[in-house]
C-alpha cells in the first residue's frame, strides 16, 4: 500500500511526464489556450492512460517477456507494435463507449479523444512501465505487480493533467501581456514551460 501511494505521488510531482520527460508536448502546446479545454483533455488522458497501461502491463508480463509464452522465446522486440495497437484500439473503444453513454462528455472532448492515440505521454507511459518492471524491489520507481502499474498510470495521467491545467491558466493571463513580437505565441510558451519545469524541480528532493 505504501509503495502504491508513493508511486502515485512520485509520478505526479517528481517524474512528471511533461516537466521531467517532455512527453505529450504536441497536444500540450496546442490545446492549452483555455483552462476548460485543458481540463477536458486532461481527463481524457488520465482515462486512457489508466486503461491502456495495465493492459500493456499484462501483455508485457504474460506474452512478451523472455520465456513467458514459450520457454526460451523473447518477444520483447514486438513491444512497440503491440503497445501502439493496444493504445489505438482502446482509444477507438473508449471513443465509442463515451459517445454512446456520455454524449455530453463526448461533445466536450471533441477531436481530442482520437488524438490521444498519438499522444506520446500514453505510449511513453507504457514504455517506461516496461523499463520499470525489471527494477529491484527497493527502488521507489519499480513496478512489481499489476496494482503498481495501475498506480503508475493514475499518477502519470494526473501529473500530465496538472501540468496542462496550470499552464493553461498562466497562458490565459498572458493574453494581456506586452510580449516582444517574435516571442509571441510559441516562444513565450516554451519559456513559461521552462520556468514551470524549474519550479517542479523542487519536488525532486521528496523522499518517500
Interface with another protein in residues 81-120 (CB under 8 A): 81, 84-85, 88, 114, 117-120
41 binds another protein, rule: CB under 8 A:
no
203 binds another protein, rule: CB under 8 A:
no
DSSP helix/strand/coil, 16: coil
Among 73, 195, 206, 208, binds another protein (CB under 8 A): 195
43 or 118: CB nearest another protein: 118
Cell 511513453 sits at which residue?
124
Among 25, 43, 55, 170, binds another protein (CB under 8 A): 25
How far apart, in whole angstroms, are the C-alpha atoms of residue 129 and residue 131? 5
Task: Looking at 33-145, list the stretches that DSSP marks H as alpha helix, in order from N- to C-terminal side.
Answer: 35-59, 79-101, 103-109, 112-115, 120-133
What does the angle CA 102 – CA 106 – CA 108 come to, to the nearest 5 degrees?
A: 120
4 or 88: CB nearest another protein: 88
Q: Nearest to residue 166, comparing CAs of 197, 138, 144?
A: 197
133 binds another protein, rule: CB under 8 A:
no
122 or 154: CB nearest another protein: 122
Q: Nearest to residue 153, comparing CAs of 3, 7, 2?
A: 7
The minimum distance between CB 27 and another protein, in angstroms, equals 9
Q: Nearest to residue 128, comparing CAs of 2, 9, 17?
A: 17
142 binds another protein, rule: CB under 8 A:
no
What does the angle CA 155 – CA 76 – CA 137 come to, to the nearest 5 degrees?
A: 45
Q: Which residues bind another protein (CB under 8 A)?
A: 19-26, 29-30, 77-81, 84-85, 88, 114, 117-120, 122-124, 127-128, 131, 180-188, 190-191, 193-195, 197-198, 201
Amino acid at each position: 500500500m505504501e509503495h502504491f501511494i508513493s508511486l502515485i505521488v512520485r509520478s505526479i510531482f517528481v517524474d512528471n511526464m511533461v516537466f521531467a520527460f517532455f512527453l505529450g508536448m504536441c497536444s500540450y502546446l496546442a490545446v492549452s489556450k483555455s483552462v476548460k479545454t485543458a481540463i477536458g483533455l486532461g481527463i481524457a488522458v488520465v482515462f486512457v492512460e489508466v486503461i491502456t497501461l495495465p493492459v500493456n502491463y499484462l501483455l508485457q508480463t504474460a506474452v512478451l517477456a523472455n520465456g513467458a509464452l514459450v520457454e526460451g522465446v523473447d518477444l520483447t522486440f514486438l513491444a512497440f507494435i503491440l503497445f501502439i495497437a493496444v493504445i489505438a484500439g482502446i482509444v477507438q473503444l473508449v471513443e465509442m463507449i463515451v459517445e454512446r453513454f456520455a454524449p455530453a462528455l463526448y461533445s466536450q472532448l471533441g477531436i481530442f479523444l482520437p488524438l490521444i492515440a498519438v499522444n506520446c505521454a500514453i505510449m511513453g507511459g507504457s514504455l517506461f512501465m516496461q523499463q520499470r518492471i525489471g527494477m529491484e524491489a527497493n527502488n521507489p520507481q519499480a513496478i512489481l505487480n499489476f496494482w503498481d502499474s495501475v498506480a503508475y498510470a493514475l499518477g502519470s495521467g494526473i501529473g500530465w493533467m496538472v501540468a496542462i491545467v496550470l499552464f493553461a491558466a498562466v497562458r490565459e493571463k498572458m493574453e494581456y501581456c506586452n510580449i516582444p513580437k517574435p516571442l509571441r505565441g510559441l516562444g513565450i510558451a516554451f519559456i513559461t514551460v521552462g520556468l514551470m519545469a524549474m519550479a517542479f524541480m523542487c519536488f525532486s528532493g521528496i523522499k518517500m
